[in-house]
Structure 1
Amino acid sequence: MNTIIIDENALESMESLLGEQFSDTLVFCCAEFERLGSEVLATIHNDIQVASRHAHSLKSNAAQFGASSLSDVAREIEQSLNSNNLAQAIEASQLLDSQVAGSKAKLTDWLQSR
């Protein structure tokens, strides 16, 4: 799954909730997507619990801000790690960089079109 899916309804809900702080928060979340994705990739081979926590945080943050496909990849990594299926987690993690970059680009484009 390398298609980037953004849920605009989730974005609009967060925009309504956060008001003036939405733009800055979305920019911060995009940076967090990068940080958390990097942390998952850096820890997946040597600390499964830490990698799972980072994947969980990435999954939740991405879902809140409409990055549906990124959230799905993070969920697959988290569930695979939690069920001790490292091979499946590593396979899913190969999509992480492109999902983070693609989601960030689409979210930035969406924000700029507002």
Structure 2
Amino acid sequence: MNTVIIDEGALEGMESLLGEQFDDTLMFCCAEFERLGGEILATIHSDVPTATRHAHSLKSNAAQFGASSLSDVARDIEQSLNNGDLSQAVMATEQLESQVAGAKEKLTQWLQSR
């Protein structure tokens, strides 16, 4: 899955909920996507529980802010690690960097287009 999918309905819901804090929170979340993705890549071979927690956080944060395809990749990583399937988790990480970058780009474009 190389296609980056953004759920604008989720974004609009968060915008309604957060009001004036939405723009700053969205930019913070984009930075968190990068941080959590990097943490997953850094720990997946050495600290599976930590990588699993980071994948869980990324999955949830991405879903809340409409980064659906990024959330799906993080979910795949988390589930694979929970099932003890490191090789499947590592395969899923192959999409992680492109999904993080693509989500950040599309979310930033969405924000600027309003």
TM tier, smaller? over 0.9
Distance apart, 1:84 and its partner CA: 0.3
* Offset, 1:103: 0.3
Aligned length: 114
Q: Report the counterpart of residue 102 of structure 2 in structure 1.
A: 102
Show the counterpart of 1:3. Answer: 3
Distance 2:45 2:112 in 1: 37
Q: Please state whether the residue corresponding to 1:18 is helix, strand or coil.
A: helix
Which residue identity does 2:35 align to in structure 1? R
AA in 1 matched with 2:78? E
Equivalences for residues 22-101 of structure 1 within 5 A: 22-101=22-101
Q: Percent identity?
A: 77
Runs of 4+ in 1 over 4 A off after TM superposition: none
Give per-residue Cα distances to partners, 1:20-42, cap 9 Å, x unaligned: 00000000000000000000000
**Whole-angstrom distance in 1 between the partners of 2:108 and 2:63:** 16
Segments of 5+ residues of structure 1 without an aligned counterpart are none
Counterpart amino acid of 1:21? Q
State the distance in 2 between where 1:45 and 1:24 align: 33
